[in-house]
A and B are shown apart, each in its own frame.
Chain A
Amino acid sequence: MLPLSGERVNAKGIISEKLDSVDTLRGSSTLKRGFAHMQKNGVVMDVTNVEQALIAQEAGAVSVMVLDKLPSEVRKAGGVARTASIKIIEEIMDSVTIPVMAKCRIGHVNEALVLQETDVDMIDESEVLTPADELRHIWKWDLTTPVVNGARSLAEALRRIEEGASMIRTKGEPGTGNVAEAITHIKKVNDGLRTIKSIYDSGDNQELVRMAREFKVSYDIVEQTAKLGRLPVVNFAAGGIATPADAAYLMSLGCDGIFVGSGIFSADDAQERANAIVLATTFWNESDKVKEAQKMIDERQSIPGLDVKTLDLRMQDRGGSA
């Protein structure tokens, strides 16, 4: 059973049509959020070409995410980062059987429409790319293709869900190989959920209204989420995950799955590391298996990490106040 809190039943992205004279519905919340439910307990891997996508599939990734450059390279390159080449996305779609996702810029409606037309399985409205509109994210209810958004707190997550996000991930700090921010973000989301749940359980509606104002979202979505005690959509960890132990720790904090950006294909042991991170995500609660997974990687080949305090560019702040 799928929680459908905050759903808009009259959204433009929902299409009623006949398929060989049978009534069908596409783009409903059940289908868009349901897609994310099929990704649960899995690893989505960032890739930039067919070769990497095949390695990811072989390792047991549940999806690949296509970018022009890995987040760590985006960080070094500077300039404006945009959505990937459509030709490369299509090549990858023709090569793997697992779902293919791609990133568009925050607020860039037409990049999202291009990706929808390309038929990617999910769109990531991502802070890794240069935002096109800092004030307004994409109104995702207009899309038939599901969209995932990053969040650093419960308030940010609920704002994105209210705009139609079908899945949430932590922002972390992309391209750093430093998992600290992702850990902070999931803990903040969890703290927020505990807080509103206890307010809901105490019956203090006035305080829930005050929380909704603070979060800049509607009362309804706060109340429904508080009642549920968790986000009404699937919630993954992302941003800085580099090792099997990183993945296992985030799963233990209640994440539904893992996005790995630069962590795999910026490392020198990509194939082994991809296998190892999938194993650690699946078997996160069996410490002997996580140890075996961790043993498969060589720390000397990990992505060199960056200290978040010294960064010139904090991708996580992009679109965060909106």
Chain B
Amino acid sequence: MSLNLGVLSIQGDILENVLAVKAAIDELGIDGTVTSVRTPDEISNVDGLIIPGGESTTIGRLSVANGTLKILKEKIDQGMPVLGICAGMIMLSKNAQDKVVGKIDQPLLDILDIKLERNSFGRQRESFESDISLNSIGIPSFNGVFIRAPSISDVGSDVEVLSKFNEKIVAVKKNNVIGVAFHPELTRDISLHKYFVNLTNTLKN
């Protein structure tokens, strides 16, 4: 059966992720498609989903308005693979704090037991690129593009740390759920998208 991948299409860099997944599917030679999805119906039909980078407050509020948040949580709890990028990782967390503003009240999916700080490296001027590694999933070197990125200071016992930048955790995995603080879709390297497509393919078959 053909693999059906989706990119959550509410706000953020949706198209960039669609293109990266498309390239990953082609390179892997897998029978699959990728579409941008938004309505509960569209979401219920995908085998794996990317929540793209963007503004987490915007994505959160609009997912509530659209009834999307509920179906997302159900599907992920049932085992649908999901890759949350930057704002997407914030959406996956159980709670988030902001570096400057502190406690924040925004709708979240409440899935990953992680201690997350928004805007952890500072504002846009402090955004940076740096080489990182995700050795445990077979990606020894990756150009990490961190834009007003969040970071994680602590994880629950069931959450695996995939990558750190200095002492800050910047990529995590819990079974079918992956969260990264950086933007693979802004680089030419599709190895992380390939990993995700493969994971979805394995879990489906």
Q: Given A31-B147, A146-B124 in contact, is the A24-B129 Cβ separation under 8 Å?
A: yes
Cβ contacts under 8 Å, B58 to chain A: 42, 60-62, 98, 278
Say yes or no: is A37 at the interface (Cβ < 8 Å to chain B). Answer: yes
- The answer to whether B54 touches A40, judged by C-beta atoms less than 8 angstroms apart, is yes
Cβ contacts under 8 Å, A283 to chain B: 66
Say yes or no: is B127 at the interface (Cβ < 8 Å to chain A). Answer: yes
- The answer to whether A40 touches B13, judged by C-beta atoms less than 8 angstroms apart, is yes
Report the Cα distance A38→B55, complex, angstroms: 7
Q: How far is the CB of B132 from chain A (nearest CB, A)?
A: 9
Most interface-central of A95, A120, A282 (chain B CB within 10 A): A282
Q: How far is the CB of A59 from chain B (nearest CB, A)?
A: 8
| Partner of B125 from A34, A41, A95, A119 at Cβ < 8 Å | A119
Q: Identify which of residues 9-45 in chain A touch chain B, using a CB-to-CB cut-off of 8 Å.
A: 19-20, 22-28, 30-31, 34-35, 37-42
Say yes or no: is B20 at the interface (Cβ < 8 Å to chain A). Answer: yes
Q: Write the chain A residue with the least CB distance to B20.
A: A1
Q: How far is the CB of A113 from chain B (nearest CB, A)?
A: 12
Say yes or no: is A2 at the interface (Cβ < 8 Å to chain B). Answer: yes
Number of A-B contacts (CB under 8 A): 143
Say yes or no: is B14 at the interface (Cβ < 8 Å to chain A). Answer: yes
Cβ contacts under 8 Å, A226 to chain B: none
Q: How far is the CB of A236 from chain B (nearest CB, A)?
A: 13
Say yes or no: is B65 at the interface (Cβ < 8 Å to chain A). Answer: yes
Say yes or no: is A97 at the interface (Cβ < 8 Å to chain B). Answer: yes
- The answer to whether A19 touches B129, judged by C-beta atoms less than 8 angstroms apart, is no
- The answer to whether A41 touches B20, judged by C-beta atoms less than 8 angstroms apart, is no
| Partner of A57 from B57, B65, B128 at Cβ < 8 Å | B57
Contact with A along B3-30 (1 / 0, CB 8 A): 0000001111111100110010000000
Contact with A along B106-135 (1 / 0, CB 8 A): 100000000000110011111111110000
- The answer to whether A41 touches B14, judged by C-beta atoms less than 8 angstroms apart, is yes
Say yes or no: is B48 at the interface (Cβ < 8 Å to chain A). Answer: no
Report the Cα distance A95→B101, complex, angstroms: 6
Q: Write the chain A residue with the least CB distance to B166.
A: A20
Report the Cα distance A86→B132, complex, angstroms: 36
| Partner of A98 from B13, B57, B66 at Cβ < 8 Å | B57
Interface residues on B, range: 35 or more
Q: Write the chain B residue with the least CB distance to A37.
A: B13
Most interface-central of B13, B165, B185 (chain A CB within 10 A): B13
- The answer to whether A97 touches B98, judged by C-beta atoms less than 8 angstroms apart, is yes
Q: Write the chain B residue with the least CB distance to A279.
A: B65
Q: Given A19-B166, A96-B101, A282-B11 in contact, is the A37-B126 Cβ separation under 8 Å?
A: no
Cβ contacts under 8 Å, A23 to chain B: 130-131
- The answer to whether B186 touches A282, judged by C-beta atoms less than 8 angstroms apart, is no
Say yes or no: is B1 at the interface (Cβ < 8 Å to chain A). Answer: no
Cβ contacts under 8 Å, A24 to chain B: 128-130
Q: Given A1-B187, A20-B166 in contact, is the A41-B10 Cβ separation under 8 Å?
A: yes
- The answer to whether A25 touches B11, judged by C-beta atoms less than 8 angstroms apart, is no
Q: Write the chain A residue with the least CB distance to B101.
A: A97
Q: Please count how many residues in chain A sit with their CB below 8 Å of the partner chain's CB atoms.
A: 46
Q: How far is the CB of B107 from chain A (nearest CB, A)?
A: 11
Cβ contacts under 8 Å, B54 to chain A: 38-42, 62
Q: How far is the CB of B12 from chain A (nearest CB, A)?
A: 6
Cβ contacts under 8 Å, A25 to chain B: 128-130
Cβ contacts under 8 Å, B119 to chain A: 97
Report the Cα distance A17→B122, complex, angstroms: 16
Cβ contacts under 8 Å, A1 to chain B: 16, 19-20, 23, 185-188
Cβ contacts under 8 Å, A120 to chain B: 123-124
- The answer to whether A30 touches B186, judged by C-beta atoms less than 8 angstroms apart, is yes
Report the Cα distance A278→B79, complex, angstroms: 32
Q: How far is the CB of A130 from chain B (nearest CB, A)?
A: 26
Q: How far is the CB of A222 from chain B (nearest CB, A)?
A: 23
Report the Cα distance A155→B172, complex, angstroms: 45
Say yes or no: is B204 at the interface (Cβ < 8 Å to chain A). Answer: no
Cβ contacts under 8 Å, A42 to chain B: 11-12, 54-55, 58
Report the Cα distance A39→B54, complex, angstroms: 6
Q: Identify which of residues 216-234 in chain A touch chain B, using a CB-to-CB cut-off of 8 Å.
A: none
Contact with A along B52-78 (1 / 0, CB 8 A): 011101100110011000000000000
Report the Cα distance A5→B123, complex, angstroms: 25
Report the Cα distance A93→B128, complex, angstroms: 20
Say yes or no: is A312 at the interface (Cβ < 8 Å to chain B). Answer: no
- The answer to whether A119 touches B145, judged by C-beta atoms less than 8 angstroms apart, is no
> Ordered nearest first, which 10 A-B pairs have the shortest CB separation?
A121-B124, A24-B128, A60-B61, A37-B13, A24-B130, A62-B55, A25-B129, A60-B58, A20-B166, A97-B98
| A-B contacts, 16 listed (Cβ < 8 Å) | A1-B23, A1-B188, A19-B128, A20-B166, A22-B130, A22-B165, A34-B186, A38-B53, A38-B148, A40-B11, A94-B101, A96-B101, A97-B98, A97-B118, A116-B125, A122-B124
